[in-house]
Structure 1
């Protein structure tokens, strides 16, 4: 039994390649089942997001398991196996556990500390569970990883500081206003950065949002997609008179918002604060506007300073989380090692209790006149003797879980007590007969 993780991510493949090796939502279930039916695979979970496609598997042999997983990916996405090998990162054993813990807690994401991946890992695990492709090991390990990530996010500030420009723009607005859910927001532009800013505003419960763009149809399309308002660029002066937050990101060569434009609407604003955030390069907002009373004007350099400071804070939190991972790996290994000990302890207890039951049956035959109370007292004391006798052997058996020669010593332990334990790890039965790698070892 070996643990393996095969990852295609932002470090191993560019976005054009990652787009080609992503499972669609409706294909994940059948993909899990197909992989599970593959030779060498004992358990599996498939994760597929916009930034990574990963296969986690329990395999009977490392090199064959790795090959069959890579072949599975190649066949699904129309690549050669060698092409998949070139874009995959492979980790095994403790390194695979470490990889899962880092991914789940957001330490391996494009945006350090992002929390969305935790939900994606959880969903991937639930899907695999529902399709019956997880077993003893993954049912324990993925729950451990999810619990670890939740605790890491709660105990540190890893996800509290903005590290993207669009998110920082919204966070900067909060520093001026405090709560912004009741503020009027104006987004100038309809490109990717504008949409990210829109999503961050919506995520902060801002509902009064208007999009303005030189091409009205693009503003309309974006507005309809997110259920907000849109206007033409001609309406900009009037919209500025009533806006609280303005985020601008266009490709204009000239200023969209000028000092004259802001001065002309000041009388309509009644000294209300106006936050102007310019995330365009070249700039959309004239720099000197910040001299106007109650107008806060920030450009991309201001945001970069905030992002850099926050990224440093996130990195400090990430380092704290990384220091906790070795203990989690040790805990997982201890649990795996105990898999071999528990059946032995169970067999020892069962044999001892059978002896106690046989003894009680003999007592019943030889002393048929015992009252129910007397019988209960004798049964209680014979069980107490057995428990006291088993205490030290069970303690010794548990200590064997961390012994380098634990398997040999456990076998000797069973011989001494004349017991036969169940198999420590029982692979899940395949839905159809599939030859194992010990029977077929071919690399076609």
Structure 2
């Protein structure tokens, strides 16, 4: 199994670098095809979210794969590969399987347990499959990762333990709104939390709905993040609610589902001047809210309205960072969230980790075995062809044989061939579970000139992280042996 993962996430890179690495949906197929033109890359899946950009790949050699994927990411970001290497992680073989399962289960997310990653992995897999970028290895890996991710969420309740990035951002917005009058009165947020007997940063929507109820908000973007934000705000009793999106029809449909009002993206300033909270989560390649736009909105707001809290959950950023310098603006972006979200060492997270640990070993074994199974099947099919041909020849040469004699000869020949094939096929399956096991299947196919079929691609994608630094791999595993790092 020559499975390799190279990428960067909020753990290893700041938002500015993730912005440069991010791949817009419109060009992901193009990027995948460019990856497949690399010498050592045989298949690829590209996962690009607000918190990570990583490539899952089947490669012919470890060192060649690391070099090519790192170079591709460096080209994407316009960064010197030697500089970028300090921000990349590399996972290989069974470690790559475990990483994929942890990512899909939400265990490597900024907010541990968030469920959006399931849909994001599913989409990444679907895009790669549609682009003919997935082979047997990644097809099976993605299927298994989605299955384990779904199981971890269903069996542990990790979704409740780990809120989404949206709810974490809105909890921070609640704190900002609650802090404002006390800040004016000279009471700090930390003092407030001390009086209430809870740590700073512990606010959540379930206990603080009163801070949002009756206030107004705007959601910019009608994708999955925007839809989640709107639903969360509506449940908290926020209103009136506004939705702005480049696609007006989509904005109207989303707004109608939560009794919100759709506003044009080109003229959102008027509506924005009447709201307390803005959540922006678009796929725009440039800022949606410039400093000047936010300044104009502030000028139109009532002086005693309180802070304008803007939650920028997009990568690349939707809001110019300079907007945070404006008096009366609280800008909550992914970088700020990363510094305030707890690690999530809860019972639910621990249970999910146990599931992933148990599944990872099984999945790695399955993936290795699946690489050799088609070759074994092809060998047995070839043997059956040879036996059938020889029995036909015997029938022509010895027409005097009775049906009973022919059946006895056929049974003896089949039994002899099966006994001859048994030990080598069992052994090649055993060897396939070891590092570099894929080589044995390739040798078997070459020796017997076997035509091994490629996997059928799924028509539908079903439901469904050990960091290492790329610069640490100057002396990584041997390409010839494929040893795990």
**TM-score surpassing 0.5?**
yes
Partner of 2:214: 186
Partner of 1:16: 16
TM-score (norm 1): 0.61
Q: 1:379 to 1:124 in 2, by over 3 A?
A: farther
Partner of 1:202: 231
Q: 1:255 to 1:79 in 2, by over 3 A?
A: closer
Q: Which runs of 4+ in 1 moved over 4 A?
A: 167-170, 188-192, 196-201, 203-209, 219-222, 229-234, 251-256, 377-381, 403-411, 423-427
Partner of 1:39: 39
* Residues 219 and 244 in structure 2, CA contact (< 8 A), matched pair in contact too: no
Q: 1:115 to 1:378 in 2, by over 3 A?
A: farther
Select the structure with the greater relative contact order (CA < 8 A; seq sep ≥ 6).
2
CA deviation vs aligned residue, 1:388-440 (integer Å, no higher than 9, x gap): 862684366224422469979979x979xx9725387989xxxxxxxxxx9xx
Distance 2:27 2:35 in 1: 12
Partner of 1:151: 151
CA deviation vs aligned residue, 1:235-281 (integer Å, no higher than 9, x gap): xxxxxxxxxxxxxxxx999998xxxxxxxxxxxxxxxxxxxxxxxxx
In the TM superposition, 1:356-371 aligns within 5 A as: 356-363=388-395, 366-367=398-399
Residue 360 of structure 1: how far off its partner (Å)? 4.0
Distance 1:410 1:76 in 2: 36
Q: 1:381 to 1:105 in 2, by over 3 A?
A: farther
Partner of 1:284: none
Secondary structure, aligned partner of 2:103: helix
Q: 1:5 to 1:144 in 2, by over 3 A?
A: same
In the TM superposition, 1:272-421 aligns within 5 A as: 311=344, 315-331=346-362, 332-337=364-369, 339-340=371-372, 342-344=374-376, 346-363=378-395, 366-367=398-399, 378-379=406-407, 382-383=410-411, 386-387=414-415, 390=418, 393-394=421-422, 397-403=425-431, 420=448
CA deviation vs aligned residue, 1:160-214 (integer Å, no higher than 9, x gap): 346445477554589x9xxxxxxx952256699xxx99955625875985249xx
Distance 1:369 1:76 in 2: 72
Larger Rg computed on CA atoms = 1
Q: 1:11 to 1:361 in 2, by over 3 A?
A: same
* Residues 17 and 77 in structure 2, CA contact (< 8 A), matched pair in contact too: no
Worse overlay, 77-86 or 329-338: 329-338
Residue 335 of structure 1: how far off its partner (Å)? 3.5
What is the total number of aligned residue pairs between the two structures?
336
Residue 33 of structure 1: how far off its partner (Å)? 0.5
* Residues 153 and 159 in structure 2, CA contact (< 8 A), matched pair in contact too: yes
* Residues 43 and 134 in structure 1, CA contact (< 8 A), matched pair in contact too: yes
In the TM superposition, 1:130-169 aligns within 5 A as: 130-161=130-161, 163=163, 164=167, 166=170, 169=204
* Residues 162 and 171 in structure 1, CA contact (< 8 A), matched pair in contact too: no
CA deviation vs aligned residue, 1:317-336 (integer Å, no higher than 9, x gap): 22223223344333333442
Residue 140 of structure 1: how far off its partner (Å)? 1.2
Secondary structure, aligned partner of 1:4: strand
CA deviation vs aligned residue, 1:210-231 (integer Å, no higher than 9, x gap): 249xxxxxx8979x97732689
Secondary structure, aligned partner of 1:186: coil
Q: 1:349 to 1:39 in 2, by over 3 A?
A: closer
* Residues 112 and 162 in structure 2, CA contact (< 8 A), matched pair in contact too: no
TM-score (norm 2): 0.56
Secondary structure, aligned partner of 1:107: coil
Q: 1:123 to 1:343 in 2, by over 3 A?
A: same
Secondary structure, aligned partner of 1:187: coil
Does residue 76 of the first structure (1) align with residue 108 of the second (2)? no
Distance 1:191 1:207 in 2: 14
Residue 6 of structure 1: how far off its partner (Å)? 1.1
Gaps of 5+ in 1: 177-183, 213-218, 235-250, 257-306, 428-437, 439-444
Distance 1:19 1:130 in 2: 25
Distance 1:70 1:356 in 2: 51
Residue 132 of structure 1: how far off its partner (Å)? 1.3
Partner of 1:114: 114
